[in-house]
Structure 1
Amino acid sequence: MKFSHSIQLNAAPDWQDHYLAYAQLKKLVYVIEKAKLGLAPLPPTFTVGNTVVFPASAEDADTPGSAAHAFTASAHVGGGTGGNGGGHRRQLTSGSTGGAPEPRALEASWTESNFESTNALMHPPISDEEACYFFTAALMGNLEVVAQFYENKSAELLDQLEALKQRIGEAEAQAKAALTSIPIAGSTRAPDAPDNVWNTASMRAARVLFSKQCTSLFIYLSELKDYIDLNKTGVVKILKKFDKVTGCQIRNAFFDTVVSKQTPFPHEYKHQLEAAITELVGLASHITDHDPDVTRNLLAHQLRDTVVWDRNTVWREMVQKERSAGNEVDVVSLGSLTVPLPSRAGWSRVFFTLLAITLFSVFAGRDWLGGREQSNCMALLIFVIILWTTEVFPLFVTGMLVPFLVVTLGVLREKQDDGAFRRLGSAEAAKAVTGYMFSPTIFLLLGSFSLASALSKHNIAKGITSIGKLVLLSAIFMTTIASMFISNVAAPVVVFGVVTPILRNLPSHSPYAKALVIGVALAANVGGMASPIASPQNIIAMSILNPTPSWSQWFLIAVPLFVVFDLLLWVLLLLVFKPQNVPMPPELLGTGKSYFREHPLDFQQCFIIFISLLTIALWCVSRLLTPWIGDMGMIAVLPLVAFFGTGILNKNDFNNFLWTVIMLAMAGIALGHAVESSGLLIAFSTHVGDLLHRMGHGLYWPMLLCAVITTVVTTFVSHSVGAVILLPVVAQVGLTLADPQPNALVMATALMCSAGMALPVSSFPNMNAIALEDPTGTPWVTVQDFVRVGCYASVIAVGALMSVGYLFIGVARLD
């Protein structure tokens, strides 16, 4: 859970407006980051809680007496580079709070290439000192509000405690006087006062009343103590966020020299509250005649019940607010009837839905393609492709329709002993399709997600990945190389985590954001070619190739191929999106080799690296382990158990897995098995084999035809499913050539299984990319963006294979 939500959920409901304004301070950090990068000026004013903050000028920063001045004057502000060095201040016009800064020389953090625009920085970047002063001034202004509230509330509660003590003492004295003033029957002597008058029947009502007052005051004092801890945690977290985002290193120094001396953070304030709570527990134990420890436990139980009720109420209100905000629709009033009014996008969805249903009806139930199963499967294929490409429904929702339609259309068959095929009944088909969907490939996906989560959460990915000055090109090559070792499923997850600081500072629909997101996704697709374990289709190819090529032979072919493709992809993205140059966020300046020098590995990080390397090593030798594990997907259980079992990852991390991507993957697997079982793709492959056989001598043209067909097929179905269906056919076709070279043909086809990348559903990396959203909830890229770039990228991949790849396949001598 984000701390901005956590502080809201754990705050005392009546005091919500008096806590640290963490969410607003976090926004301020990102405002300062943009100002440091030259993407936007500091605003004339910024409101944090009830405090209005003005940008720092030289005159303001030099004003003695302020905590911010004392700190910026004495503490070292690190992390600045280039034009952001300390010591430079922006001068404001006299009497102005938001005047324009004087012009100054700008130094861009990096330059993408001559292809890109050079007018990126529209505003002079502020210095580290200005950033530090502006942020600390805002923070201290907010902490003064916190301190004022604490002083008022603590004084109020301590006064209530004194008043309660006085009332209890007076009630007890009156009760004793009343009990000792009445003579004993038959005697003139007054009775002795009981040891504890609160146990008498006459004091029952007073005991109940004062017990409730003690409980109420205990709850308030305890919440005030938690108020200190929650605000202190918020300060530490926001300072850490500021350091991470801006590159300044002020957290420890500022907290130790300024915050720790600010009310209510010194230890004596908590000691004062604890003493008051102890005194209150003593009062309550005296009234109830219980042991103090028992009384404290009873009061703590009451506190827990109150907190649970309050927090549940706050949680329900938060959920209700978010749901109501997301369900606003335009309506038109017709008299007393109110009817939803579809937007232009809504009418578009209606049109494409009707088109998909119409084409579905044309093929379903016919015998046009050699059998009813084939025609029904074609109807299914057309229907889901239209829905996926037009995004009529969310992609994973369309995926949910696949198993339902596979069963209801009766497209699954099984081969009988006599060679004939029998259509599976609904019950058999339901079991079969759900079995296909939860395959070892899904375990492989979960294992990859666990690796990526552990490496990212514990800041290992930041050290093993490095963004260079050419950010877009660096991200492309980094993704491809990472795919070689942690698969092209996990690699984009890790890289997207690394480039998040760049995306965070870009506006919605930014051409640079589109180029970066699509570039990482397509590079991960090509990374699926890079090594035998980079993708499932390569594992399938290794099982078909005979003799099995060595890793060195595979690298000899794949490395030159992906180097050429990555360079051409970079140029393609620059030409299509024309992204403007953007500066490097300070958060990324510490990545790479220097990161581990500044942040030495601890035991937990070493354990994560060991498990990750062990998993990759086992994947490398998975064929040798097949008699014991059955499938390489079972190896993925190792990181899942190791990370979740030891607490490195927790339930929230598991819930944060990309389950929409997993649903899409399961739908792709189910669709691929349906196409195979119905006989539709086998019939198609048979015709292709006949065509290749008629081509006669040579390898080039059959390889080109296989590459084109494979790229087209794997654009619409899962890469691994395309490999399962096509590779055995291609191997058989290769044997029928005049100069049999089945291994060369299978290798080329396996590489091209990763080249189908024109649609979001074409591959796992594409699904990851389409699921990324900007801070407003708008997807960074659309289906149209993928189609526009992916088609060209697929053509480039085929061209690279038939030039560089064809040359090195011959050098590798696979047959």
Structure 2
Amino acid sequence: MKFSHSLQFNAVPDWSSHYIAYSNLKKLGRIYTFEKQLNHAPAVPDHESSPLLTGSTGDVDKAFENALDQELEKISSFYQLKESEIYGELDDVLRDVSTYDAEQQEHNEGQPPRSRGNDRPQRTESILHSIRPGARRRASTLSSSGHGHEDEDSDEDDERAALAKSRSYDGGPDDERSQPSARRRTSTVFEDYNDMSFSVLYDSGVSLKKRVVGVYVSLCELRSFIQLNRTGFSKVLKKFDKILDRNLKEGYIGKHVEPAYPFQPATMNRLSGNISRLEQVYASVVTQGKVDEARRELRLHLREHVVWERNTVWREMIGIERKAQAANMGLRHPILGADPDHANARLQGDELVMETKEISTPLGRYTCPVWLLTPTLYTLIVIFVVFFLLLALPIMEQPEQQNCLAMVVFVSLLWATEAIPLFVTSLLVPFLVVVLQVVRADEKPHARLDAKAATSYIFSAMWTPVIMLLLGGFTIAAALSKYNIAKMMATFVLSKAGTKPRTVLLTSMFVAMFASMWISNVAAPVLCYSIIQPILRNLPPESNMSKALLMGIALASNIGGAASPIASPQNLIALQNMNPAPGWGTWFFVALPICVISIVLIWLLLLATFQPGRGTTIVPIRAMKDRFSGMQWFISAVTIVTIGLWCVSHQLQPVFGDMGVVAVLPMVIFFGTGILTKEDFNNFLWTIIILAAGGLALGKAVNSSGLLHTLAEVIMQRLNGMSLYGTMVAFAALILVVATFISHTVAALIFLPLVQQVGQNMEEPHPNLLVMGGVLMCSAAMGLPTSGFPNMTAIMMEDSQTGQRYLQVKHFITRGVPASLITFAVVVTLGYGLMRLAAF
């Protein structure tokens, strides 16, 4: 949890205005305003317009110190006032405890000696010992009332009932009341209740106990007040030093914060001593001198107080947070994933409520959810109609191929329209394969498999070495991100870029490409956008440099998705359809030159269209000052060794068999040593894994049914006489257009198996070349905001001051479409030559 949220949730509600104004100091103007003033200082100082408290635009340290001094004075004044008030209450309580002890002793000494009759024994324990924490809770009340005292409106009546119960069992094992005589126990209770002196003493004890608990709670709140404010000063100074590259924290803490009265060691020692003293008092009054039991009961009282007194505040604040998150992120229907504007969802309290509508039908009027009337439902209806028509119309000669064609069209339409989540469609694949009897035996005469055999066949196709390679990539990405290795490397490179706009733009694009190679092109743009935040904050809202940076990182991340086999899921789909699968070295030989040259050409395109250098002042990125720890060196070494083994996987095939087996090494090392935890494992993109597994199963089923071979023959007849180069250009153009409108991974799942089969059936077979060209074009499709995760991330970036998005759809059409065409040209020229040299 962020400290700003922790401060809100843990602050005493009545004292909320007296804590450090952490958010105001950090976000709402101070630090970021000083950053802008430092980087955009006017040539001639304007004392009237300068917001700096010192009157000088240069001395931001002094200005920030003045702001902190005001907060420190506010906190110190309030603390001294509350401390005086609470310590006064403490003195009163301690004085009354002494009086109460004397009265209890006098009462016990005044009891007559024990005799044979109905005489009461002298009490040797606290009369409040039976009172347990939690009297407010209904369970405690019911427990007491279960013995005949049903008054639930008064805490004192509840405690009196508990006391009556406990007194009926007072005494040792030799006590006459331990004999089974209900009459004597009733008589004792009746006699105690009619003892006026005992009743008065008891009432005083109950009142005193409540006062002790109240003062204990106040002292703990006072201690929390000190701790939260101390942490607030430390964190806001750390933020100031990081943003402005200063070293103010240690000096200010030592010179101003620690000498302040609330933060002096003597103050905290005195407060802790009083808390311990109150625990001793509670023990003497309530728990027969048992300090551990007293401490436990007081903490239960404190916890009850926090839950009882602040539950409403917490719920309100959490409700606000949820509503804000819903407004910013967009509520999505749990089934259709629709936006609330389309799904007609609304927030009622903290819950998402789906609106309903009454409709008239020939059978009567019915109420149904509004989302059932959205275009998504009609899309699903059309898709199912097409599916059943394809099942009924005799298009293919073999029934298994007819069913497989219907299934392929059905699944492809669901993927393309995203009528239901992509991974849910993938989960449908094995179900449809088995029910429609699509799979045939691998041996001739290729008889259709029964349901049991087909189930084993298709599920084995969903878990392959490619899935293990994907998991290995996720593991490396998680380790590099969790331990800030990727961020440290990225900031180090960007810190060398200087302040020239064109250099900063080119460096940012190459950093995004490199990050996409190892932590995926989903996480890479998020990382890069967080690193360039200082640049974005110090640029004018309508600056073309901001647009060029965001667009450049997005386009470079898309292209970086082709740079390594683990950079994106479509690359793993390609490896599954390539036989033999190329090693990492071969992949780098083809992909890296294409990526580098494409990024340079796109950089020139952005310079020509945005002209980011005009009137732009760049704030230099500072490298992280933290040194590489032993853990970070170890993670880096394991990553480098794993990548090295992947690069020479063909040479080590007799040892490891497949790259998927090598992927087990980082998983075992990182999870086995505790570097990554089960929470990290659970946070993997399992929807991507299921999507890839479903695509692999679909490709296996289409190939097994014979449909893929039949479609390849039909396409080859249409492409009769076309050369290998012409075939690659045609498929690359087709995939580029389709992948622009649908997910890159989905495009690969649909087209790459077909491309592989076409290449296999050519007179001069080059299936790997066509598959490699096709997968490169999947990553190159970036003409729309929805064309890939990097584009979707970029268009959601907003100016923190104005709340307006930096990029619009027109920016992707005018820059993304030309960038896609540039990459297409590079792939079909340079890429084709490299693939022929690599013997694809």
How does the TM-score come out when normalised to structure 2? 0.70
Match of 2:633 in 1: 606
Residue 795 (structure 1) shift: 1.8
Q: 1:303 to 1:433 in 2, by over 3 A?
A: farther
Match of 1:708 in 2: 733
Please state if 1:319 is matched with 2:351.
no
Letter in 1 for 2:756: P
Letter in 1 for 2:283: S
Q: Matched residues in 2 for 1:686 and 1:514: separation?
A: 47
Residue 689 (structure 1) shift: 3.4
CA contact (8 A) 2:732 2:774 kept: yes
Of 521-530 and 459-468, deviating more is 459-468
Of 405, 426, 429, the residue aligned with 1:374 is 405
Q: 1:375 to 1:163 in 2, by over 3 A?
A: same
CA contact (8 A) 2:583 2:647 kept: no
Please state if 1:670 is matched with 2:694.
yes
Residue 270 (structure 1) shift: 0.5
Residue 37 (structure 1) shift: 3.5
Secondary structure at the counterpart of residue 248 of structure 1? coil
CA contact (8 A) 2:795 2:807 kept: yes
Q: 1:688 to 1:797 in 2, by over 3 A?
A: farther
Q: For residues 589-604 of structure 1, what are the structure 2 equivalents within 5 Å?
A: 589-591=621-623, 595=624, 598-604=625-631
Residue 378 (structure 1) shift: 2.8
Q: For residues 574-589 of structure 1, what are the structure 2 equivalents within 5 Å?
A: 574=607, 589=621
Q: Where does structure 1 lack aligned partners over 5 or more consecutive residues? A: 39-79, 103-125, 187-192, 332-337, 342-346, 389-395
Q: Matched residues in 2 for 1:348 and 1:575: separation?
A: 45
Residue 228 (structure 1) shift: 0.9
Q: Matched residues in 1 for 2:768 and 2:822: separation?
A: 23
Q: 1:421 to 1:26 in 2, by over 3 A?
A: farther
Please state if 1:365 is matched with 2:388.
yes
Q: Matched residues in 2 for 1:433 and 1:769: separation?
A: 38
Q: Which has the higher contact order (CA 8 A, sep 6+)?
A: 1
Residue 566 (structure 1) shift: 0.3
Q: 1:575 to 1:406 in 2, by over 3 A?
A: farther
Q: Matched residues in 2 for 1:310 and 1:433: separation?
A: 57
CA contact (8 A) 2:462 2:696 kept: no
Q: For residues 268-287 of structure 1, what are the structure 2 equivalents within 5 Å?
A: 268-287=266-285
Secondary structure at the counterpart of residue 28 of structure 1? coil
CA contact (8 A) 2:478 2:519 kept: no
Q: Matched residues in 2 for 1:518 and 1:349: separation?
A: 37
CA contact (8 A) 1:451 1:490 kept: no
How does the TM-score come out when normalised to structure 1? 0.72
CA contact (8 A) 1:33 1:585 kept: no
Match of 1:521 in 2: 554
Q: What's the CA shift string for 1:408-459, capped at 9, x where partnerless?
A: 797783224633667979x969995995799446524632541342243895
How many percent of aligned residue pairs carry the same amino acid?
32
Residue 609 (structure 1) shift: 2.4
Of 812, 818, 821, the residue aligned with 1:792 is 818
Paired residue total: 705
Q: Matched residues in 1 for 2:437 and 2:318: separation?
A: 43
CA contact (8 A) 2:477 2:520 kept: no
Letter in 2 for 1:33: Y
Q: 1:635 to 1:379 in 2, by over 3 A?
A: same
Please report the RMSD computed on the Cα atoms of aligned residues, expressed in angstroms: 4.9
Q: For residues 365-764 of structure 1, what are the structure 2 equivalents within 5 Å?
A: 365-367=388-390, 370=396, 371=402, 373-375=404-406, 377-382=408-413, 384-387=415-418, 397=421, 400=424, 403=427, 413-416=438-441, 418-419=445-446, 435=462, 439-440=467-468, 443-444=471-472, 446-456=474-484, 460-466=488-494, 468=497, 469=500, 470-485=503-518, 488=521, 491-503=524-536, 513=546, 515-531=548-564, 534-535=567-568, 554-574=587-607, 589-591=621-623, 595=624, 598-621=625-648, 632=659, 657=683, 662-663=686-687, 666-667=690-691, 670=694, 673-674=697-698, 677=701, 685-696=712-723, 699-712=724-737, 714-715=739-740, 716=742, 717-718=744-745, 721=749, 725-726=753-754, 728-729=756-757, 731-733=759-761, 736-737=763-764, 744-745=769-770, 747-758=772-783, 763=788
Match of 1:299 in 2: 298
Residue 164 (structure 1) shift: 0.3
Letter in 2 for 1:171: Y
CA contact (8 A) 1:281 1:296 kept: yes
Of 263, 266, 273, the residue aligned with 1:265 is 263
Residue 783 (structure 1) shift: 6.9
Match of 2:47 in 1: 92
Residue 523 (structure 1) shift: 1.7
Letter in 1 for 2:89: Q
Q: 1:677 to 1:359 in 2, by over 3 A?
A: same
Q: Matched residues in 2 for 1:247 and 1:456: separation?
A: 19
Secondary structure at the counterpart of residue 590 of structure 1? coil
Q: 1:327 to 1:197 in 2, by over 3 A?
A: closer
Letter in 2 for 1:663: T
Letter in 2 for 1:137: N
Match of 1:160 in 2: 89
Q: 1:282 to 1:605 in 2, by over 3 A?
A: same
Q: 1:226 to 1:806 in 2, by over 3 A?
A: same
Secondary structure at the counterpart of residue 601 of structure 1? coil
CA contact (8 A) 1:488 1:525 kept: yes
Q: Matched residues in 2 for 1:744 and 1:754: separation?
A: 16
CA contact (8 A) 2:583 2:646 kept: no
CA contact (8 A) 1:503 1:513 kept: yes
Q: For residues 9-408 of structure 1, what are the structure 2 equivalents within 5 Å?
A: 9-28=9-28, 32-33=31-32, 36-37=35-36, 90-93=45-48, 129-130=59-60, 132-177=61-106, 202=198, 203-288=201-286, 289-307=288-306, 313-324=312-323, 353=376, 356-357=379-380, 360=383, 363-367=386-390, 370=396, 371=402, 373-375=404-406, 377-382=408-413, 384-387=415-418, 397=421, 400=424, 403=427
Letter in 2 for 1:3: F
Letter in 1 for 2:74: V
Q: Matched residues in 1 for 2:796 and 2:655: separation?
A: 37
Letter in 1 for 2:223: K
CA contact (8 A) 1:161 1:217 kept: yes
Letter in 1 for 2:730: L
Residue 274 (structure 1) shift: 1.0
Q: Matched residues in 1 for 2:584 and 2:692: separation?
A: 29
Q: Matched residues in 2 for 1:446 and 1:237: separation?
A: 32
Letter in 2 for 1:129: D
Residue 479 (structure 1) shift: 2.1
CA contact (8 A) 1:727 1:750 kept: no
Q: Matched residues in 2 for 1:350 and 1:505: separation?
A: 47
CA contact (8 A) 1:755 1:797 kept: yes
Q: 1:545 to 1:194 in 2, by over 3 A?
A: closer
Secondary structure at the counterpart of residue 754 of structure 1? helix
Letter in 2 for 1:562: C
Q: 1:510 to 1:99 in 2, by over 3 A?
A: same
Q: What's the CA shift string for 1:448-501, capped at 9, x where partnerless?
A: 541342243895344554252433221211222334455545544543443344
Q: Matched residues in 2 for 1:226 and 1:178: separation?
A: 40
Q: Matched residues in 2 for 1:640 and 1:217: separation?
A: 53
Q: 1:255 to 1:714 in 2, by over 3 A?
A: same
Q: Matched residues in 2 for 1:648 and 1:217: separation?
A: 45
CA contact (8 A) 1:685 1:726 kept: yes
